[in-house]
């Protein structure tokens, strides 16, 4: 890819699960019989949108769908092709997994144009499959393979969320409160971010199953139904993980409240025990005339006995009331 070249990949799918890398292909030209042209663009290149508008032979509506800044998963028919927008978990180094990346597709019988703004590993997986003669053979199979690769990555992410949730549940009694709050907040944010795009992605896949087009074979439609079911299961797993996070947070707050109540209970017992002692010492500590015991050599001993007796009486009352 040169500085002015918007293409990341250009392959000619040859119908036998292999592909030949090509350059300078006009997508509007006739493709070799039995082959499918796949061109993958980097929308971050300045030349990407002009190429879509002038050289790709696409309507302005399709160009806008492929090059929009923000997208949500969707699928629709346009003329003799399909516009499909999908989202996948961000597995790029240094990025947050929940910051899902998008890929936009224009699919015809013998042509596929795909575009992204940030790299997507499921696309790289397809390129690698050509080397092992395991790649897609047609445009419909290209779509289903890409959907499967995206779902595999989402499945890995959901499994990791469930594992981290299980670890948090196991460590509830021992983990530092600040660490647990941070961990739960991160998990809930990740769940919400991914779930935001999974629901419309499931709907987009369901819609593809009902599109009347020769691009998708019966086998392609079956695979799309299976992947739609997988996405539905992942949504259910994320909903369950979200509920577990809420329950775990409630258990954590309950545990914190119980610990605070225990501390307050101990402080209340101590304060109640020392209440009569405080009263006696305060009474005898007044600087007024006529206080009993001032002239008595055993005054301190008598006061001590009175305070100990009052303490014993308070403790006995607490025992009788079963407060301690």
pLDDT in tens, 156-175: 999 999 998 888 888 877 77
Per-residue model confidence as pLDDT tens digits over 5-33: 788 988 999 888 888 888 766 655 556 77
Q: In the chain, where does the domain assigned CATH 1.20.58 lie?
A: 265-321
Third-level CATH fold of 265-321:
Methane Monooxygenase Hydroxylase; Chain G, domain 1 (1.20.58)
pLDDT at 155: 92
Q: With pLDDT > 70 as the criterion, what percentage of the chain qualifies?
A: 94
With 0-12 CB in 10 A as exposed, 13-18 as middle and 19+ as buried, what is 311?
middle
Q: Whole-number mean pLDDT of the chain?
A: 85
Q: What is the rounded CA–CA span in Å between residue 212 and residue 192?
A: 34
> Stretch 215-220: mean pLDDT, rounded?
91
pLDDT of 287 higher than 90 = no
Please report the DSSP string for 168-212 in residue order: HHHTTTTS-HHHHHHHHHHHHHHHHHHHHHHHHHHHHHHHHHT--
Band of the pLDDT at 93, cuts 50, 70, 90? low
Coil vs helix vs strand at 150: helix
pLDDT of 295 higher than 90 = no
Q: In the chain, where does the domain assigned CATH 3.30.460.20 lie?
A: 7-255
pLDDT of 242 higher than 80 = yes
The domain 7-255 having CATH identifier 2.40.50.140: the answer here is no
């Amino acid at each position: 890819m040169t500085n002015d070249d918007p293409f990341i990949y250009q392959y000619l799918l040859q119908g036998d699960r292999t592909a030949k890398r090509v350059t300078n292909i006009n997508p509007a030209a006739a493709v070799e019989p039995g082959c499918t042209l796949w061109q993958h663009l980097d929308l971050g290149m300045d030349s990407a949108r002009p190429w879509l508008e002038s050289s790709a032979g696409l309507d302005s509506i399709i160009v806008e769908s492929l090059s929009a800044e923000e997208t949500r998963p969707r699928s629709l028919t346009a003329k003799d092709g399909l516009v499909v927008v999908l989202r996948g978990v961000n597995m790029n180094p240094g990025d947050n997994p929940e910051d899902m990346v998008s890929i936009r597709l224009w699919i015809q019988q013998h042509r596929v144009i795909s575009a992204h703004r940030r790299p997507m590993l499921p696309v790289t997986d397809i390129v690698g499959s050509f080397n092992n003669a395991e790649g897609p053979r047609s445009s419909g199979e290209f779509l289903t393979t890409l959907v499967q690769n995206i779902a595999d990555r989402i499945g890995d992410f959901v499994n990791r969320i469930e594992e981290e949730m299980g670890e948090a549940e196991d460590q509830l009694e021992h983990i530092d409160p600040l660490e647990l709050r941070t961990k739960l907040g991160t998990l809930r944010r990740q769940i919400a971010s991914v779930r935001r795009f999974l629901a419309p992605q499931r709907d987009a896949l369901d819609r593809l199953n009902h599109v009347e087009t020769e691009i998708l074979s019966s086998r392609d439609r079956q695979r799309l139904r299976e992947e739609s079911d997988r996405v539905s299961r992942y949504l259910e797993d994320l909903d369950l993980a979200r509920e577990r996070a809420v329950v775990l947070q409630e258990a954590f707050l309950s545990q914190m409240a119980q610990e605070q109540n225990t501390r307050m209970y101990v402080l209340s017992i101590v304060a109640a025990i020392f209440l009569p002692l405080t009263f006696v010492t305060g009474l005898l500590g007044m600087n007024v005339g006529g206080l009993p015991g001032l002239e008595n050599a055993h005054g301190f001993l008598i006061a001590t006995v009175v305070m100990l007796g009052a303490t014993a009486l308070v403790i006995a009352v607490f025992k009788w009331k079963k407060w301690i």
